[in-house]
Amino acid sequence: QRQKDREERLALVLWRRPIVTLHYFLLETFITLKKWTLKLWQRRGTVFLILVLCSLFSLAYSTEGAHQKYVQYLEKRFLWCAYWVGLGILSSVGLGTGLHTFLLYLGPHIASVTLAAYECGSTDFPEPPYPDQIICPDGGVEGSISLWSIVSKVRLEACMWGAGTAIGELPPYFMARAARLSGADPDDEDYEEFEEMLEQAQTAQDFVTRAKLGVQNMVQKVGFFGILACASIPNPLFDLAGITCGHFLVPFWTFFGATLIGKAIVKMHIQKLFVIITFSKHIVEQMVSLIGSLPRVGPSIQKPFSEYLEAQRSKLHHHTGAGTPATENWLAWVFEKVVLVMVCYFIFSIINSMAQSYAKRRQQSRQQRYTEEKTK
């Protein structure tokens, strides 16, 4: 019956049953808003304190004075950090989409800074317009740029994105911990799969199950350093580490501290160095020439890549007020459309996920009524 209910929920998607899916999505949204309103009311003292602090900041923001430059600096830094933390949380949570914001946002940002640094001979880009637009500063010396200067330039946003991915790993941990402490059956299919995996630990034969058991054993036995090792490398099974830590009641700061260090420091520097080295000037030139050497299609594919790189170089040397180059390349157009499709798919997946959550509520309510009638 459980398998049948799960298949019924998974069939509830926008492109198959749009009216029912939207209806369930709205009902689940209303229930979630009601739940969060009650939680905020229960913590009304904390909410009041936050509102007072926001009011004081708003007063300082709107009052003229010598402090304005510090307020504006703090506002700019806070919004910049919040943007990357939010993208990191979205990448980690994903809501079943696997939307990887590193590939869509942070990776291209690091790549553009790398290409600009080698072209300009400096990372001291004028602010503004950086980070919205990169323009070469006056006085850059070609060949004077180093790998570590680029690493330092993008360190803040990379670490904030990594911290966001660490925060996004907390829901599985809290869900599994609450389920273990209360003894209740959690409303989560990943946790059900985890419990089934523990029951079948001795008889597991396939590679995926054995890999999951390996992660679970490492986290359970090694503790802090096991979590750190799992978080420091690209690991699609890390959700299981969060569930394992929650299930075996690993202390919060042991789990979150190791996850934060692994994802925001170790893993981010590995990914950052990979992107910077890949998009360094001589590697990019070699890749373009390699594309041109492909038989038959090489020259036709090489031309738009070369035009795109040349257009980016001209933009870097173009200063504000002189009119912006209006050239549009099909590569940039394709990338924009890919990002748009991914964001739309992400929104559809949120709607599907919330609709399926409401369907699960209905199934549980129906099962409960059936059990009560049976016991009468």
Give residue-wise pLDDT tens across range 348-363. 888 888 888 888 888 8
Mean pLDDT of the chain: 77
Confidence of residue 69 (pLDDT cuts 50, 70, 90): confident
Write down the pLDDT at residue 324.
45
Give the model's pLDDT for residue 34: 92
Q: Which residues contact 229 (CB under 8 A, 6 or more apart)?
A: 218, 222, 262
Task: Tell me the C-alpha distance between 135 and 94, whole Å.
Answer: 34
Return all residues near 111 (Cβ < 8 A) that are at least 6 apart: 275, 278, 279
Nearest to 110 by CA among 346, 101, 97: 101
Tell me how far apart the alpha carbons of residues 339 and 92 are, in angstroms, rounded to a whole number: 17
DSSP state of 66: T
Output 241 or 140, whichever has higher pLDDT: 241
Listed in sequence order, the residues at least 6 apart from 354 whose beta carbon sits closer than 8 Å to its beta carbon are: 24, 25, 28, 29, 32
The residue type found at 318 is H
List phi, psi (to 5°) of 319: -90, 155
**CA quadruple 55, 59, 62, 68: dihedral, nearest 10:** -110
Across the range 159-180, mean pLDDT stands at: 84
pLDDT value of residue 59 = 86
- Per DSSP, 204 falls in state -
Ordered by start, the domain boundaries in the chain are: 285-321
Task: State the DSSP H helix or E strand holding residue 363, giving kind and residue range, or none if neither.
Answer: helix 330-375
Indicate the SS3 state at residue 364. helix
pLDDT given at position 50: 92
What is the tens place of the pLDDT at every residue in 295-353? Answer: 777 777 777 777 767 776 666 665 544 444 444 556 667 777 877 887 787 788 888 88
Cβ contact 316:116 at 8 Å: yes
Question: Crossing angle of helices 238-247/252-261, nearest 10°?
Answer: 160
Residue owning tokens 């934060």 = 260
Higher pLDDT, 366 or 40: 40
Q: Do the beta carbons of residue 162 and residue 263 sit within 8 Å?
A: yes
How far, in Å, are 169, 231, 261 from residue 222 at the CA level? Answer: 19, 13, 16
- Cβ 23 vs Cβ 370: under 8 Å: no
> What average pLDDT does range 18-40 have in this prediction?
90
CA distances from 112 to 126, 127, 143, 161, 338 (A): 15, 16, 17, 17, 18
Cβ proximity of 242 and 73 under 8 Å: no
